[in-house]
Structure formats: C-alpha cells, structure tokens
Amino acid sequence: MKKRMLVIIMLLFAILLVACSEDASESTEKNETNTGEETTNGQEEETKEVSEEETTIQSDDVEITEEMKEMTYDTIMGYEGVKDAYIEVNGDEITMTLQVGASLNEETRKELGDNFVRNLSSNVSFNYDELESPSKDDYGTLFHLYDLQIGVGTGADDIIQGAKVTSSPKITW
C-alpha cells in the first residue's frame, strides 16, 4: 500500500511539474508577444515622429552641395550612353539635364533620367537624417521639397522633357 501511495504521489508530482512548466512557457510566449507589440508600437511612434519631421523640413533647410552633385555626376556618367550631366538648383526648383547617345531609345532615356533623379535624392538624403531615400514608388523626401525639371536628349533638337511638382508621386514626361 505504501508503494502505491508513493507511486501515486510521484505521478501527481510529475503531472504538477509538467502543468507548471507549460504555464511558464505560455507566460514567456505571452511576454515575448507583448514585447513584440511594444516594439511595433515604438516603431509606429518613430514613424509618426519621422512623418512630423518630414513636414517641418523646408527646401531652405537642405543645401545641395557641389560634392553631392559631383557624386551624382560620377554615378550617372558610369551608365552606358551617357555623355554629359548637369544639375542646377534655383530656389525650390531643381533642373537636371542629361546628354545621351543617339542610339538610345525613348524608354532607355526615361530610365536614365529616372536613375539620375533617384541618385541625386539618395546622395542628398545620405547627408540629412530628416530626408528619406528614394524607394521603388517614391523619389524620396528631397522631391517632396523641390519641384523638378528634367531633360534627356542627344542635343538641342532631340530632348525628352519631364517635370515633377512636390505634390506629384511621379515624373510626367
């Protein structure tokens, strides 16, 4: 009888340990989940702060230096077919021009212009924490502050012109 009691107590003790250890792991999982939620909420707060900062920065707060332009020139000149590049900033408007080879079709010219714009935005945003870099669907915060005029062509007679205002998400060619 004593042996049976000892076996029953041992089984109850084992069951109790297993039950307690499952509760502890569930608690740990819940804490990890809550911690993840806190991180998510923190990220949302950071995103809100960045959005608020984004609206407070003005074009006057951003200086597009010759060094930034040179970095952009160096990159775009590495593309096949590009002969010359120029960037001018006048107030809250950026004018960009690319001279390309006559063998490039219209679509390729537009792609080069798009790359030129994104590269400038990336180079400028690298120097300003308040500016976001370009993404697949956006030219970056720089072009939320500045209007854009861009021309890509072989010479004065063959130019594709594009424009983007700060409120527009894309270049209109």
pLDDT of residue 47: 43
Mean pLDDT of 6-25: 59
Mean pLDDT of 140-162: 92
pLDDT of residue 130: 87
CA dihedral 69, 70, 76, 80 (to 10 degrees): 150
pLDDT of residue 5: 64
Which pLDDT band, with edges at 50, 70 and 90, does 61 fall under? confident
Q: How far is CA 125 from CA 72, 81, 103, 119, in A?
A: 12, 27, 33, 10
Please state, in angstroms and rounded to a whole number, the distance separating the CA atoms of residues 169 and 107.
19
* pTM assigned to the model: 0.67
**Which residues are registered as beta bridge partners of 94?**
89, 148
pLDDT of residue 29: 47
pLDDT greater than 80 at residue 38 = no
Q: What CATH number does domain 62-164 carry, 3.30.300, 3.30.1450, 3.40.50, 3.40.30?
A: 3.30.300
pLDDT greater than 50 at residue 162 = yes
Instruction: Give the mean pLDDT of the chain.
Output: 80
Question: Each residue of 83-117: pLDDT tens digit?
Answer: 999 999 999 999 999 999 999 999 999 999 999 99
Q: Where are the domains of the chain?
A: 1-56, 62-164
Mean pLDDT of 58-74: 89
pLDDT of residue 58: 79
pLDDT of residue 37: 45
pLDDT of residue 28: 45
Mean pLDDT of 36-53: 45
pLDDT of residue 2: 62
